[in-house]
A and B are shown apart, each in its own frame.
Chain A
């Protein structure tokens, strides 16, 4: 069966104001439907910049982005309907309850009434948050916040889900629940594009991985292919260190 690209990036460059070096230097790659795509790299490699451009947060300096057959520039409003974004920060209102946060974000995706309430209840149940639904976010643990952060982005069943380090700073239990439900979403047809520093997690979770450093894609392929094609590597961490070297990053 031929694979259908859902995200196509061509020669993408981003130079921030007051910066000498481009954050992203003419990168090109494709992400196919139903993939779990991992964009991995050290700090400052260009992962968040790339994800931010794909989400329509800001425009690239040059290059072309096609999402689900639509050029991003000019179709941002339509594209935003089919994507979900889980930001690296906990993008929730701390003084609102989990349910109030989810009702607000669900409404912003056009959901309303009974449908919205049902979806919220289902996801709260799946991620073990039903009892805490009416508690304010500010009283939640890090793991609980991460789980609500995820639900806020998937209530509208997006075609493509962008996750920027969704499991950072949480316990193993919360991480496992999140990954488990991301796999479930993927099985239901959602393409997942995700960044992480957890290389073992990425190795087990992703179907395709691109390693980025200094704004350039160093290598791309399935975890198995990457390990096989990088000499001296027995796992993804070896691949990562062999490609990005051991120099400390800012």
Chain B
């Protein structure tokens, strides 16, 4: 039996090595895919993560509120702020036109007199609080805020960006309003108090009570930044591993087409053993693909100015996920090869299903940006189990225990596909 298995492995290896196009599909294509996709997505990641959201500010106020918003946004890592367009100071009209063209995601216009409107409003409030009934009603009249800060929004801007920006605005307005209120109160109290005693002018700035502390919940204390490399290398590696369906299903279909299967069914060797030979070879190919793709992440991508892939804490856990994903991919290939009734049908069925499964599994777009229903669907896709396993390892510093469930699901998928293949094969032979 050992000799037969070895002969099968040798035969499959020779056939595979001599299939130059098949090899290029398995190794060259995913390498190119990883480099191209990472470079494309890295620029998007950089725009958002490093430079921030491109925003144009029109500060017609030129007073406290306008300056506070300008300084606040300028110092924020969330956005990349400018107040000029093509070398000229931005105006409401030019900002709107630039956003419409997609030059900026958001345009903000602080109208003239915005700070004065807040002052008037605060002044009314302070007077209403401090001044006694005898004072005329005109003096205590509270002027309502009538400042309209205009947001020009590019329709492609994410809702979360817009919400972040409006939150920023609320915070700035609130800060300025409180500051003005504090100053007005201090001035009024100083007038009322003997010896002209007023609150110290810098008291407000010292009054920050609640601070925010960012703590990473995983073992990796945030040293691995989510970037295109960390997502694309595992994602496209899994895609490449599952793309093995095409040559594997093709190999099964070729045996059917050229009549080899006729002879194979009549020899005193269980068909399962012949299939096991294929599985061993293709699992090894998957693991080689995985190693190659990791090498691309570690050594090739940095040559393009991209960050190197960071592997997390457990090489053993990485091997376990890679091995179980290899079995899942190979099992799927055997199933497609068994179900298909021609080489063309196998190739179409294999490639389309892998494209669909990779889209659903979060290979193209990470699942966390998907709507809930798509995330629910994604959670039953084998490619997503493998991707989740690698995410845990590469982003969250997980260990062997953390990825066992993902690996188990992949192995169960392999068993399921092999059972289906065996059943279908049995049915086909009962013709």
Q: Across the interface, which residues of A come within 8 angstroms of B259, CB to CB?
A: 87-91
Residues from chain A with Cβ under 8 Å of B316 in the complex:
none
Complex Cα spacing A136 to B19, Å = 13
Task: Confirm or deny: A83 has a beta carbon within 8 angstroms of a beta carbon on chain B.
Answer: yes
- Residues of chain B lying within 8 A (CB to CB) of residue A87: 259, 262-263
Q: Hey, which chain B residues are within 8 Å of A57, CB to CB? A: 262, 265-266, 429
> Interface code B321-361, partner A: CB below 8 Å = 1, 0 otherwise?
00000000000000000000000000000000000000000
Taking A16-B431, A100-B11 as contacts, is the C-beta distance between A108 and B4 under 8 angstroms?
Answer: yes
Least distance between B390 CB and chain A CB atoms (Å): 35
- Given known pairs A90-B258, A96-B11, the reply for A85 and B266 (CB within 8 Å) is yes
Annotate B382-408 by CB proximity to A: 1 below 8 A, 0 otherwise. 000000000000000000000000000
Quick one: which of A57, A85, A108, A110 has the most chain B CB within 10 A?
A108
Do B268 and A110 touch across chains, with their CB atoms under 8 A apart?
yes
Q: Across the interface, which residues of B come within 8 angstroms of A105, CB to CB?
A: 263, 267
Count of chain B residues near A, Cβ 8 A: 26
Contact B258 A92 (CB under 8 A): yes
Chain B residues, Cβ within 8 Å of A109: 267-268
> Separation in Å of the B223 CB from the closest CB of chain A?
49
Distance from B202 Cβ to chain A, minimum over Cβ atoms (Å): 83
Bound Cα distance from A88 to B262, whole angstroms: 9
Interface residues on A, range: 20 to 34
* B3 x A107 contact (CB < 8 A): yes
Which one, A85, A95, A107, A136, contacts B263 given CB within 8 A? A85
Residues in B neighbouring A112, C-beta threshold 8 A:
3
| Docked complex Cα distance between A56 and B264 (Å) | 11
Q: Write out the residue numbers on chain B whose beta carbons fall within 8 Å of the beta carbon of A94.
A: 258
CB of B335, distance to nearest CB on chain A (Å): 21
Q: Answer whether residue A205 sits at the interface, using C-beta atoms and an 8 A cutoff.
A: no
Q: How far, in whole Å, are A81 and B345 apart by their CA atoms in the complex?
A: 34
Q: Which residues of A contact B (CB under 8 A)?
A: 16-17, 55-59, 77, 80-81, 83, 85, 87-96, 100, 103-105, 107-110, 112, 136, 152-153
CB<8 Å pairs between A and B, sample of 17? A57-B265, A57-B429, A80-B266, A85-B262, A87-B262, A89-B262, A90-B258, A90-B259, A93-B258, A95-B15, A96-B14, A100-B11, A104-B11, A107-B3, A107-B4, A107-B7, A136-B18
